Chains A and B, each alone.
Chain A
């Protein structure tokens, strides 16, 4: 079994071998292969969007993806949420000494496939190796660059009373899939992470309507947190209907066992958006034609009142507040 050693991060021969045998092999493209201290990109037309994110996840391989796929999807999706066309991505690795090279290769291959699917080029990278125990297996940072070539300005502050809230599909799949595989909690669930690229779906949404006000992927903190951000930016309240919110039975069951709420659980391949009342249904119909949006639903609307709260109409007609989560979500005792 070949493993990563401190030598792989030393900048010497082992580093060189790692770069040649793994990174260049999978990330092969003309810009990366300039092999200079920095890669020179062609001139870009339009407004430039930049985003960065670090991926720290346990387990690193899960049902529906792995840390590599996640690190590309996360950054590509963040660019897409701003209305940008994702073009380039950089990848930085922090690897714990002792990590298996075979697993690194699997992750790198996954990054490469996902980047190709997203039509983005990996243009720069970096690898650091840290002593055993200083990191948990592998951390990945990705930075994405994209362009906004139309006059698009997406922001929660654009939302107006009467606008509709739309979600692309069921909630909590990623979070529950990850939690079910954590140490000491090996629940036997078949839920797959929804980790996926959304750039194509977003392109179709923005092509369909000029009245999409804001797009966001409800990752950490889930739908409830995203809607609270919208409420705060728009200075309006938001109301959603429990009966319209898609949650898989298995996700709901596991959340109930642990005392967690699916509306606060992370997603990695879902989009929440606000569209004008007039365009909302058309947007939903277009979304449903794309596999990433096949369960799209209007789930609520922006209200006239300016209290900036998010409330949920329960399926029996009651109302409850969906506040920002406080701290880490912890499972309850009984």
Chain B
């Protein structure tokens, strides 16, 4: 627990939180982009301990939440084939498509297996040579290196029955879209810690340089978040526009060269459809031509289905930080963790799920 307990020391954290925004009178809006930050903030109770004029809004940084219904529908369609095994991360199981979820389909007997790493899918592929093992490749820069590695190994070992249904997304360009949206007024970003361990601090610099929005990369312990918020508010107060890294024990300025090169050896930039946000160019990763034989869509000749809007759901606005879950008519009534309708209720790390779980408004 070295480097963890030190960032949880209650008396140090309490003292630091007292200083956050204590001399700020105007309203300041900070977006924590990452779902894990949202959960940590709720879990530690920081939201209630800082002045009410410091508004924390949650962004689109939960990979499960931003996975489109059409993607889930396509995965469900694939499970209907006897020659297919679908492998997926656990929290994807609950994500609703338009009519069902992988969890429901699993209960109906479809071969859907939860894995903890894409590399486990390769093992399953080797054990089932007569069936196509399709890994649901979702996530951000965080999961991309392991997915890339699985493709690399499959290619080197000539594993022919492994492919991915890709929906990997990348973060900085999406943050740009949020800054460009005139309806959202973000004074500063708490940048995603896990993503930053891969990409580093450099890719966020345009936020400060081009758009004059300061940003801080922080970890997930209460002390990390406290120092992250304090640093950010000090910059906002003093009109300093920089990207600061208070998570230097894991995040380097240039990121992880090895992880980045492993991603771009296999993938290249593409557009991506974000649940609730729509198509955003340059925010996805697709397999390079060389590795297209591992692309489930081309390999099996399928096309992703189309997304249908969900009536009454305001997840798009919630993911952009324009609205909060309490402003949604479906929240807690029709849409709850047992019956998630919208993206933000799906994952444990979604904004609505966090409100429901920790704020007694469910």
A-side binding surface: helix, strand, loop or mixed?
A: loop
Q: Chain B contacts of A317 at CB under 8 A?
A: 10, 14, 17, 45, 49
- Whether A150 is near chain B, meaning CB under 8 Å from some CB there, is no
Most chain B CB atoms below 10 A, which of A311, A316, A319: A316
- Cβ < 8 Å to B, chain A residues 315-332: 315-321, 323, 326-328, 330-332
Whether the pair B1, A333 counts as a contact (CB closer than 8 A) is no
Task: List the B residue with the shortest CB-CB distance to A185.
Answer: B116
Q: Chain A contacts of B90 at CB under 8 A?
A: 330-333
Q: Chain A contacts of B347 at CB under 8 A?
A: 332
Whether the pair A314, B44 counts as a contact (CB closer than 8 A) is yes
Q: A184-B120, A316-B13, A320-B358 are in contact. Are A334 and B140 (CB under 8 A)?
A: yes
Whether the pair B139, A321 counts as a contact (CB closer than 8 A) is no
- Whether B78 is near chain A, meaning CB under 8 Å from some CB there, is no
Q: Chain A contacts of B196 at CB under 8 A?
A: none
Whether the pair B14, A331 counts as a contact (CB closer than 8 A) is no
- Cβ < 8 Å to B, chain A residues 229-270: 243, 249, 252-253, 259
Q: Chain A contacts of B313 at CB under 8 A?
A: none
Q: A316-B45, A320-B42 are in contact. Are A326 and B336 (CB under 8 A)?
A: yes
Whether the pair B46, A316 counts as a contact (CB closer than 8 A) is yes
- Whether B108 is near chain A, meaning CB under 8 Å from some CB there, is no
> How far is the CB of B219 from the nearest CB of chain A, in Å?
12
Whether the pair A314, B45 counts as a contact (CB closer than 8 A) is yes
Number of A-B contacts (CB under 8 A): 105
- Whether B222 is near chain A, meaning CB under 8 Å from some CB there, is yes
User: How many positions in chain A have a CB within 8 Å of any CB in the partner chain?
Assistant: 28
Contact of B44 among A185, A316, A326 (CB under 8 A): A316
- Cβ < 8 Å to A, chain B residues 101-122: 103, 114-116, 120
Whether the pair A326, B337 counts as a contact (CB closer than 8 A) is yes
> How far is the CB of A307 from the nearest CB of chain B, in Å?
8
Whether the pair A318, B91 counts as a contact (CB closer than 8 A) is no
Q: A253-B1, A316-B10 are in contact. Are A334 and B222 (CB under 8 A)?
A: no
Task: List the B residue with the shortest CB-CB distance to A315.
Answer: B10
Whether the pair A184, B115 counts as a contact (CB closer than 8 A) is yes
> How far is the CB of B362 from the nearest CB of chain A, in Å?
7
- Whether B93 is near chain A, meaning CB under 8 Å from some CB there, is yes
Whether the pair B357, A321 counts as a contact (CB closer than 8 A) is yes
- Cβ < 8 Å to B, chain A residues 270-329: 307, 309, 311, 313-321, 323, 326-328
Residue-by-residue, is B69-113 near A (CB-CB < 8 Å gives 1, otherwise 0)?
000000000000000000001111110000000010000000000
CA distance A328 to B93 in the complex (A): 10
Task: List the B residue with the shortest CB-CB distance to A313.
Answer: B45
Whether the pair B1, A331 counts as a contact (CB closer than 8 A) is no
- Whether B243 is near chain A, meaning CB under 8 Å from some CB there, is no
Whether the pair A333, B91 counts as a contact (CB closer than 8 A) is yes
Whether the pair A323, B357 counts as a contact (CB closer than 8 A) is yes
Most chain B CB atoms below 10 A, which of A249, A307, A320: A320
Whether the pair B44, A321 counts as a contact (CB closer than 8 A) is no
- Cβ < 8 Å to A, chain B residues 346-362: 347-349, 356-360, 362
Q: A315-B10, A316-B10, A323-B357 are in contact. Are A331 and B115 (CB under 8 A)?
A: no
Whether the pair A316, B49 counts as a contact (CB closer than 8 A) is yes
- Whether B142 is near chain A, meaning CB under 8 Å from some CB there, is yes
Q: Chain B contacts of A333 at CB under 8 A?
A: 63-64, 89-92, 138-139, 142-143
Q: Chain B contacts of A311 at CB under 8 A?
A: 360
> How far is the CB of B349 from the nearest CB of chain A, in Å?
6
Contact of B338 among A259, A315, A326 (CB under 8 A): A326
Whether the pair A330, B93 counts as a contact (CB closer than 8 A) is yes
> How far is the CB of A136 from the nearest CB of chain B, in Å?
15
Whether the pair B348, A332 counts as a contact (CB closer than 8 A) is yes
Whether the pair A318, B337 counts as a contact (CB closer than 8 A) is no
- Cβ < 8 Å to A, chain B residues 46-64: 46-49, 63-64
Whether the pair B89, A318 counts as a contact (CB closer than 8 A) is no
Q: Chain B contacts of A326 at CB under 8 A?
A: 336-338, 357
> How far is the CB of B48 from the nearest CB of chain A, in Å?
5
Task: List the B residue with the shortest CB-CB distance to A187.
Answer: B116
> How far is the CB of A305 from the nearest CB of chain B, in Å?
12
Task: List the A residue with the shortest CB-CB distance to B18.
Answer: A317
- Cβ < 8 Å to B, chain A residues 167-217: 184-185
CA distance A326 to B336 in the complex (A): 9
- Whether B320 is near chain A, meaning CB under 8 Å from some CB there, is no
> How far is the CB of B101 from the nearest CB of chain A, in Å?
11
> How far is the CB of B112 from the nearest CB of chain A, in Å?
13
> How far is the CB of B7 from the nearest CB of chain A, in Å?
11
Residue-by-residue, is B112-154 near A (CB-CB < 8 Å gives 1, otherwise 0)?
0011100010000000000000000011101100000000000
Q: Chain A contacts of B91 at CB under 8 A?
A: 259, 330-333
Whether the pair A330, B94 counts as a contact (CB closer than 8 A) is yes
Q: A327-B94, A330-B90, A333-B89 are in contact. Are A318 and B116 (CB under 8 A)?
A: no
Q: Chain A contacts of B231 at CB under 8 A?
A: none
- Cβ < 8 Å to B, chain A residues 119-174: none
Whether the pair A316, B116 counts as a contact (CB closer than 8 A) is no
Whether the pair A319, B45 counts as a contact (CB closer than 8 A) is yes
- Whether B288 is near chain A, meaning CB under 8 Å from some CB there, is no
- Whether B202 is near chain A, meaning CB under 8 Å from some CB there, is no
Contact of A316 among B17, B92, B114 (CB under 8 A): B17
> How far is the CB of B238 from the nearest CB of chain A, in Å?
26
Q: Chain A contacts of B92 at CB under 8 A?
A: 333
Q: Chain A contacts of B357 at CB under 8 A?
A: 321, 323, 326
CA distance A307 to B362 in the complex (A): 13
Whether the pair A334, B194 counts as a contact (CB closer than 8 A) is yes
User: What are 20 A-B contacts with C-beta separation under 8 Å?
Assistant: A185-B116, A259-B348, A307-B360, A309-B360, A314-B45, A315-B10, A316-B13, A316-B44, A316-B49, A317-B14, A321-B358, A326-B337, A326-B357, A327-B337, A327-B338, A330-B91, A333-B64, A333-B90, A334-B142, A334-B143
Q: A184-B115, A334-B194 are in contact. List 7 more A-B contacts (CB 8 A).
A: A316-B44, A316-B222, A321-B357, A326-B357, A330-B114, A333-B64, A334-B63
Nearest first, the 10 A-B pairs at minimum CB distance are A318-B45, A326-B337, A330-B90, A315-B10, A334-B142, A331-B90, A314-B45, A320-B358, A321-B360, A316-B13
